[in-house]
Amino acid sequence: MALMLKPANANEKQEHFKWNKRPTIVMCYRDFPMHLLFRAIEFWGTRGHKFDDVVLTSPVGICAPDYVPDTIIIRRAPKGKLKGGQIGVTQRISDGDGNMIASVIWFDHYRLNEPYIIEHELGHGLGYAHVNHKNHVMNPWSNSMGPEFWIP
């Protein structure tokens, strides 16, 4: 099985990736506003997504590796990680068949409260690509994101 590290919008066909089992969310971002995480989990839960677990206080061992299979790791973006006004970026680790193995979400600390940003990046962590529809949560432009979600 070949592993590929891909950014969230790397699939040129805008295909969506799938998890073979429910991922665990691992919080490796100390001062993350948990109410925003739970809002995003609820957003995806009402759309049929379930998580195996949510680990809020992670031991260093699980946060040290670049990724951990079957997890969505949330991290604070270090200086220089995000480019050109990005609010967050998600790295997906998948096999050659488009099955998710793991993902890592990096957030800009100063822009976490912008609407739908956490839901959007968690959507990438779940395997969704960008969608160019106004008010769709997976729209790549923060001012065009909204609460709508459907798979085109």
State residue 14's pLDDT score.
56
Residue 107 has φ and ψ, to the nearest 5°, of -115, 145
Is the per-residue pLDDT at 8 higher than 80? no
* Three-state DSSP state, 124: helix
Is the per-residue pLDDT at 11 higher than 80? no
How many Å apart are CA 106 and CA 146, to the nearest integer? 21
What residue spans define the domains of the chain? 3-129
State residue 97's pLDDT score.
85
Give the sign of the dihedral formed by CA 68, CA 32, CA 116, CA 48: positive
State residue 13's pLDDT score.
57
Q: What is the DSSP string of 69-110?
A: TTEEEEEEPPTTSS-TT-SEEEEEEEETTSEEEEEEEEE-GG
Q: What is the fold, at CATH topology level, of the domain defined by 3-129?
A: Chitobiase; domain 2 (3.30.379)
State residue 4's pLDDT score.
47
What pLDDT, in 10s, does the model give residues 83-122?
888 999 999 999 888 899 999 999 998 889 999 999 999 9
How many Å apart are CA 9 and CA 92, to the nearest integer? 9
